[in-house]
Amino acid sequence: MNRRFRLALITTLAVASVGSLMLMASPATQKAAKSSASASKTASPAPQAPITVDGVKDIDPYKAYGSKNASVVMETFTDFQCPACKQLYTTTLQRVMNNYVDTNKVYMVHRDFPLPMHAYSRIAASYARAACHIGKCDAVEDVLFQNQEKWEATGDVKGTVASALTPAEMKKVQALVDGGTLEPLIERDVQIGKAVPVNQTPTTIIHTRDGQTYPVVGFVSYEVLTTLLNQLVK
């Protein structure tokens, strides 16, 4: 076997290997494309356009609560993996919802601000956003915050979310997450936060009708927050 023949044989084998690898890869790509297409078919209808309330722009209506005619808009930037955000959500925001949002005094906007140092906060935000878009916001946000230490250690965000939903609801949520249609909404919240700028979570921005804004950085207890809200609510 001369040198040229060996070279030709090696080249042929190399091309054949690369070609077969490409052929093996393409069905997966086709499958992914198909599943993505089917996911978008079974997903919920396209999300509602963002709204503006009292000068606060780009509000995802699925993550906003209360009456748009409230005299105060409260924007809260949180990270699902942040312990202070958990404390704020469980001890302060729930009471604000009951005593101010449900009584049409405050319009609350929840913005996602996943921090880069938290490995699973982005995926948690995706699942929570998807749950909000099928009307199961409270259940999923509650289970994520209450079980924060568990899924933070294991990374099992999906399992935690599934525990709060029926199989049919979980399927819809998973389809939304896989479709990636809600990622731009999360990224928009992050960009809005960076523009403030939000330097730590939680950060709450309270807006009044006359254009005043009051940033509140870090955890704040309900009793302390009400001293401000009672001043601002008319």
Partner 1 sequence: MQSAPFNFRRALMLIGRLLLGCIFIYAGYSKILLPNKMYSPLVMLKFSILSNLSNFGFQVASYKMLSPAGVDFVSHVLPFAEVALGLLLLIGWRLRISAAIASLFLLLFLTVVTRAYILHMDINCGCFATPEPVSLKKIFEDSAMATLAILMTLFAFQESRKPHPWNAGAQLPL
How many residues at the interface with partner 1, by CB under 8 A? 18
Report strand pairing: 203-208 vs 213-217. antiparallel
Q: Min. distance of Cβ 90 from partner 1 in angstroms?
A: 12
Please enumerate in sequence order all residues whose Cβ is within 8 A of that of 194, keeping only pairs 6 or more positions apart, or say none. none
Q: Residues 210-229 vs partner 1: string with x where CB under 8 A? A: ----xxxxxxxx--xx-xx-
Nearer to partner 1, 55 or 215 (CB): 215
> Is position 39 an interface residue for partner 1 (rule: CB under 8 A)?
no
> Is position 37 an interface residue for partner 1 (rule: CB under 8 A)?
no
Nearer to partner 1, 46 or 117 (CB): 117
- As a whole number of angstroms, the distance between CA 35 and CA 197 comes to 38
> Is position 2 an interface residue for partner 1 (rule: CB under 8 A)?
no
209, 74 Cβ separation under 8 angstroms: no
Q: Residues 186-205 vs partner 1: string with x where CB under 8 A? A: -------------xx-----
Report strand pairing: 72-78 vs 106-112. parallel
Residue with tokens 């704020």: 88
Please enumerate in sequence order all residues whose Cβ is within 8 A of that of 50, keeping only pairs 6 or more positions apart, or say none. 57, 58, 59, 60, 61, 185, 188
Q: Binding residues for partner 1, per CB under 8 A?
A: 83-84, 87, 199-200, 214-221, 224-225, 227-228, 231
